[in-house]
Amino acid sequence: MHLKHTFSLLALLFLSLSLQAGPSLVPSPPAINAKAWLLIDYNSNQVLAEHNVDEKVEPASLTKMMTGYVVQKEIENGSISMDDMVLVSEKAWRMKGSRMFIEVNKRVSLRDLLKGMIIQSGNDASVALAEHVAGSEDAFVQLMNQYARSLGMNGTHYMNSTGWPEKNHYTTVRDLAILARALIRDFPEHYAWYKEKVFTYNNIKQNNRNRLLWLDERVDGIKTGHTESAGYCLVASAKEGDMRLISVVVGTSSDKARSATSRKLLNYGFRFYETFLLHKANEPLTTMRIWKGEKENLPLGLAEDLYLTLPRGQRSKVSASMTVEPLLVAPAFKGQSYGTVDIKLGNKTLVSKPLVALEDIPKGGLWRSLVDNIMMMFQ
C-alpha cells in the first residue's frame, strides 16, 4: 500500500500561474518538406513536433557535433588541452569537401581546429582533431560510438569523424536532439562557439553555414550538414526569454529550405507553448517519518529540476500528486527512491519522476530500534 496525495506547494503554484492567461488553441505543427524532423524543449525534453524520429538517416556534417563533444570530454578528462599544438597529417590535409585549409606537417592549435570544424565545418580539422585525441581516426570513431551509447543514442553508429558518406554511418533525429542537449548542457563555453558567424584561418575568411544566425537573433547554434545523399540538414537551437527550443531537420532540398523549415518549427514552438520550472532539484517536497534512524524525519524531493512545457494558457488544467511508501525504515541513502511525483494535464500524465531521499540517515542505536519497533506495531 502507498500513500497518495496532492501536495499544496504545487497546487498554490498552479493557482497563481493559472491567473496569468486564459486557455488558447494549439494548431497542428507546420507542414515540413523533409525526410525527418523533431522539435523539443531543451529544459523539459518535451516533444512538440515530430516525424520519422527513429528512422535511420545520414547525418552528414552533423557528425561533427559528436566529434566536438568527444574532444571536449577528453579535455575535461585531462588527456588533451585546448592549447595543444596539433601536427597536421597528410590524411587530414587531403580531406575533400568543406575545409579550413590547414597545411600538412604544420602545427595548429587545438582551439583553432575546433573553431575551424564548428564554424567552417572543416573536414580537415575534424580528422586532425580525431588523430590528435586518439592516435588515429579509427580509434577516435570507437570513442564516438562509446560516447553515443553513454548518452543513450541507441540509433546511432559512426564510421568517421566528418560525416563523409559511408555504409553503416547513420543516426536518427531523436539521437541528434539528445546530442544537441548534451552539448548545450555539458559544455556551455564550447557551445558558445556554435553561434559565431565568421572564422578566419590562414587569411581565409569563411562564414558559418547556419543561415539562421543571420535571420533570427534567437538562434545561437548549432550545426548544418549536407551531402548529395543526405540532403540539406540542420540542428538549430534558439532561446526566447527563459525558454530554449531545439529543432532537428534532415533531408531537405536546399540550404534555403533547411533554414526555412527549421524556423517554422521554432516559431511554432515559441508561439504556442511555454516552459516553466515547477520545482528545483534537492529542495524538499515533503518530509516523512523514518523509523529506526538517527533522525526521525526524512526530506524527500527531486534529483533533477522539474520543468514543464505546456500549450499556452493550459496551466490551470495541471494537477500534481505524489505517491509515497507508507513505512520508511533506516538506513536511507541520498538519491534512493521512496515514491513518485506525477504531473497530469487533464487526464493525461505528462511526467512521472522518482521522489528521492535528499540526505543520508544511518541506522540509530539499539534503544532507538527497540522503541521504534514498539511504536511501529501501532502504525
Domain annotation covers residue 332 = yes
15 and 84 belong to one structural domain: no
Domain that residue 155 falls in = 36-252
Grid coordinates representing 189 are 563555453
Residues 72 and 171 reside in one and the same domain: yes
Shared domain for 245 and 112, answered yes or no, is: yes
- Find residue 239's DSSP bridge partners: 244
Q: Which of 44, 61, 237, 262 is catalytic?
A: 61
In a domain, 258, yes or no: no
Q: What is the CATH number of the domain that holds 207?
A: 3.40.710.10
Does residue 227 lie within any of the structural domains? yes
Catalytic residue among 64, 115, 223, 292: 64
Domain shared by 191 and 318, yes or no: no
- What pLDDT does 24 receive? 65
Instruction: For Cα atoms 150, 155, 158, give the angle at the middle one, nearest 5 degrees.
Output: 75
Specify the pTM.
0.90
Q: Cβ(319)–Cβ(300) under 8 Å?
A: no
Which one is catalytic: 98, 121, 126, 262? 121
Determine the pLDDT at residue 3.
Answer: 53
Q: Are 200 and 297 found together in one domain?
A: no
Is 180 found in the same domain as 85? yes
Our answer to whether residue 161 is catalytic in this structure is no
> If you count DSSP H runs as helices and E runs as strands, how many of each does the chain have, helices first?
11, 18
Pairing assessment for the beta strands 85-87 and 273-279 based on DSSP bridges? unpaired
pLDDT of residue 13: 47
Question: What span, in angstroms and rounded, lies between the C-alpha atoms of 295 and 239?
Answer: 44
Residue 270 lies in a domain: no
Low-confidence ranges of the chain (pLDDT < 70): 1-24, 372
Q: What pLDDT, on a 0 to 100 scale, did the predictor assign at position 2?
A: 54
Domain for residue 260, yes or no?
no
Rg over alpha carbons for the chain, rounded to the nearest Å, is 25
Burial class of residue 344 (count of CB atoms within 10 Å of its CB; 0-12, 13-18, 19+): middle
61 has catalytic annotation: yes
Same domain, 232 and 305: no
Buried b (16+ CB within 10 A) or exposed e, 99-132: bbebeeeeebebebbbbbbbbbbbbbbbbbbbbb
CB within 8 Å of 201: residues ≥ 6 apart: 100, 101, 102, 112, 115, 116, 120
153 in helix, strand or coil? coil
Q: Where among 252, 273, 303 does a domain terminate?
A: 252
Q: How many domains does the chain have?
A: 2
For position 348, which CATH number holds? 2.60.410.10
Q: Which of 252, 269, 295 is the last residue of a domain?
A: 252
Active site residue 64: yes
